[in-house]
């Protein structure tokens, strides 16, 4: 069912070398191709629209759900709605990568709309990797939308990674945190060539003692363009921190708008944003250890995006 190219794409977006253990649903060119459920995790196809419902039973611990999407044909626009129900006190990892291989001249596009309900005391780690390849002129486009409701005491960790390969992406992330819910988002982005990437993250800290941290690091090269919009909205006693750092190179553009909005006198919100070139002192230091300028630059970028 899966050929060599499919396997390569799976490896890139989900670190999978084989069919994964545990629950999974592999979607290829707009259709579900392989699926597995476990005693604790059920995956049901939606009846009214494309997509799946993933249901994790309460108290499920240490299981993972892989839902990779691969697009290997041109002229495809795939829209999918996935809903995740993470039961009370469960602790799971969801890996949702998308890989596009487009050698044609027409575009390939995947838009994933993900809705999470992370119930009381549950822990969710959600990893989303984007990967694109193929020398054709056809554009590779990914537009994910992620909406997360984190109930009391839930812990949510998001890792959003896109390193080259995708021509256009618009990522919308909306998260609401109830009492004592905690959130950590790490975003890593590298654009090159003529690529465009937009990331909007809005976090509503509506519960007492909720907390959120967003760490975004990006590198913009060549003529690429990045747009960031982050808003932490504190409407209760809460703590929030945004750190966004961008390295800008060549003729690239980076527009970053970190915003913090407090509607409560015990809301503590901080934002830090910086855009700059690679510091010349960093290059000189590594060159003084024997690296060439190019090697020094690569080492600095690799560390920065790790």
236: number of Cβ within 10 Å: 18
Minimum CB–partner distance for residue 219 and other proteins (Å): 11
C-beta of 218 vs 236, nearer to other proteins: 218
Closer residue to other proteins (CB): 89 or 304: 304
What letter does residue 135 receive in the DSSP assignment?
Answer: S
Whole-angstrom distance, CA of residue 206 vs CA of residue 210: 7
Nearer to other proteins, 124 or 189 (CB): 189
**Nearest approach, Cβ of 281 to other proteins (angstroms)?**
4
Query: What is the smallest separation between the CB atom of 290 and other proteins, expressed in angstroms?
Result: 4
Residue 72's alpha-carbon distances to 7, 30, 47, in angstroms, are 11, 10, 25
Cβ-proximal residues to 254 (8 Å cutoff; 6+ apart), any chain: 218, 220, 225, 226, 227, 228, 246, 248, 275
Question: Cα-atom radius of gyration of the chain, to the nearest Å?
Answer: 20
For 257, residues 6+ apart whose C-beta sits below 8 A from its C-beta are: 228, 229, 230
User: Min. distance of Cβ 304 from other proteins in angstroms?
Assistant: 5
Contacts with other proteins by CB under 8 A lie at: 217, 245, 279, 281-282, 284-293, 299-300, 302-306
| CB-nearer residue toward other proteins: 3 or 288 | 288
In the complex, what is the shortest distance from the CB of residue 211 to other proteins, in angstroms, rounded to a whole number?
Answer: 20
The separation between the first and the last C-alpha atoms of the chain, rounded to the nearest angstrom, is 33
Q: Enter the tokens of residue 45.
A: 């196809």
Q: How far is the CB of 169 from other proteins (least distance, A)?
A: 22
Nearest distance from C-beta of residue 293 to other proteins, angstroms: 7
Closer to other proteins by Cβ: residue 90 or 247: 247
Closest to 114 in 3D by CA, of 164, 65, 181, 58: 65
Residue closer to other proteins (CB basis): 119 or 188:
188
* Residues near 116 by beta carbon (within 8 Å), at least 6 away in sequence: 83, 84, 86, 124, 126, 146, 147, 148, 149, 156
147 vs 287, beta carbon nearer other proteins: 287
Q: How far is the C-alpha of 285 from the C-alpha of 303, rounded, in Å? A: 15
| Nearer to other proteins (CB atom), residue 152 or residue 245 | 245
Q: Cβ 79 to other proteins, closest distance in Å?
A: 35
Distances (CA, A) of 46 to 100, 239, 240, 241: 24, 37, 36, 37
Gap between the Cα atoms of 131 and 163, Å rounded: 7
Q: Residue 31 has which token pair?
A: 């259709």
């Amino acid at each position: 069912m899966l050929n060599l190219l499919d396997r390569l794409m799976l490896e890139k977006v989900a670190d999978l070398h084989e069919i994964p253990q545990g629950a999974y649903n592999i979607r290829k060119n707009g259709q579900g191709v392989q699926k597995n459920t476990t005693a604790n995790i059920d995956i049901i196809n939606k009846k009214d629209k494309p997509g799946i419902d993933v249901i994790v039973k309460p108290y499920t611990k240490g299981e993972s759900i892989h839902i990779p999407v691969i697009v290997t044909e041109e002229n495809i626009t795939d829209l999918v709605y996935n809903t995740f129900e993470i039961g009370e006190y469960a602790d799971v990892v969801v890996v949702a990568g998308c890989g596009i291989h487009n050698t044609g001249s027409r575009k390939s596009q995947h838009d994933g709309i993900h809705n999470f309900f992370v119930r009381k005391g549950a822990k969710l780690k959600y990893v989303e990797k984007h990967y694109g390849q193929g020398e054709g002129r056809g554009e590779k486009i990914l537009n994910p939308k992620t909406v997360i409701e984190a109930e009391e005491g839930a812990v949510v960790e998001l890792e959003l990674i896109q390193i080259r390969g995708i021509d256009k992406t618009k990522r919308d992330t909306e998260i609401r945190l109830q009492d004592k819910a905690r959130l950590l988002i790490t975003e890593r982005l590298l654009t090159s060539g003529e690529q465009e990437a937009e990331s909007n993250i809005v976090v509503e800290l509506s519960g007492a003692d909720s907390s959120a941290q967003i760490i975004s690091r990006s590198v913009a090269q060549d003529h690429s363009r990045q747009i960031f919009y982050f808003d932490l909205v504190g409407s209760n006693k809460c703590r929030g921190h945004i750190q966004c750092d961008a390295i800008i190179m060549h003729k690239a553009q980076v527009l970053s708008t970190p915003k913090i909005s407090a509607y409560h006198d015990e809301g503590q919100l901080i934002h830090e944003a910086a855009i700059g070139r690679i510091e010349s002192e960093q290059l000189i230091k590594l060159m003084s250890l024997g690296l060439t300028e190019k090697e020094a630059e690569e080492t600095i970028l690799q560390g920065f995006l790790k």
